[in-house]
Amino acid sequence: MEPKQHQHESDILAYYGGDRSRTRITGTLPGKGVFVLFGNRSGSNYLVDLMKRIPSVSMRHEIFNAVNVQKMSDQHSLHGFEDYVRFMRRDCKTVHWGAKIGCIQLDMLHRFGLLDAFEGGSSIIWIKRRNIIAQAISHYIAHHNQQWASFHEAKGEMPEYDFDAIERIVMSCIKHNSDAELSLTVLNKSYHTVWYEDLIKKPFVTIRRIAVFIDEPFDKLGKRKSMFQKQAHSAKDEFESRFREDARKKLGLNFTL
């Protein structure tokens, strides 16, 4: 039975001519692997930016998307996924290294052998949001105006409120979290949960706890500001209020005794 694949895995496998052996990492990578597991609009870019300040760890962003694997492999004549991984960590000045991995990429990277390739083992930092409705609304707005980060300029219009569209994103967030938790449990992988809401309120405490989890030294964040900031849209609160009201009606919870 073929494993269920996301488009990233299917595209990478197709790029290697369907030869799964070219996706497998068979060698050993030095140091520890540190991976930030995330879903869309969970604050992962901000978290990775702060984690770069842990002195013994180098962090990258979304390097395991199929388009990035294909582009860099074409440019530098890389012949397999292991070549790609070693190329992407070549400039790291620390022995420990990691990157963001989407919830939809977790199984892929396990099948590729990345999570088990590090001499010092791999650690997974899972960033999630307690308020999944707010997460879905943020994704809904970004999908339309293409402002995926605070420093990007909006390229589209602010969308109209759409309960059905937001509900589909809410259910997608829930499914991604559920699938990732199942895989982590089946694989017996330990992980440290970071809640977006706590990260925003107490970034220093959050990063210190991560450093303790990965057993690496950490002093302080310093005064340098992150390039990633919380995005503010006046429509977010309105959309969330309307969605909660509509969802209560749909679930039959809008009643009084």
Question: What pLDDT digit, counting tens, does each position of 138-195 carry?
Answer: 999 988 775 555 555 666 678 899 999 999 999 999 999 999 999 999 999 889 999 9
What pLDDT was estimated at residue 223?
Answer: 57
Confidence of residue 76 (pLDDT cuts 50, 70, 90): very high
Percent pLDDT > 70 in the chain is 88
Q: How many CB atoms lie within 10 A of CB 12?
A: 24
What pLDDT was estimated at residue 219?
Answer: 78
Domain of residue 171, CATH code = 3.40.50.300
Residues 95-133: pLDDT tens digits? Answer: 999 999 998 899 999 999 999 999 999 999 999 999 999
Assess if residue 257 is contained within a domain: no
Confidence of residue 68 (pLDDT cuts 50, 70, 90): very high
Assess if residue 6 is contained within a domain: no
For residue 34, is pLDDT > 70? Answer: yes
Q: How many domains does the chain have?
A: 1
Confidence of residue 37 (pLDDT cuts 50, 70, 90): very high
Assess if residue 75 is contained within a domain: yes
Assess if residue 223 is contained within a domain: yes
Assess if residue 118 is contained within a domain: yes
Assess if residue 5 is contained within a domain: no
Cβ-in-10-Å burial (0-12, 13-18, 19+) of 90 comes to: exposed
Assess if residue 165 is contained within a domain: yes
**123 contacts 36 by C-beta, under 8 angstroms:** no
Lowest-pLDDT range of 5-9, 43-47, 134-138, 174-178? 5-9
What pLDDT was estimated at residue 56?
Answer: 94
Assess if residue 4 is contained within a domain: no
Domain span holding position 239: 13-250
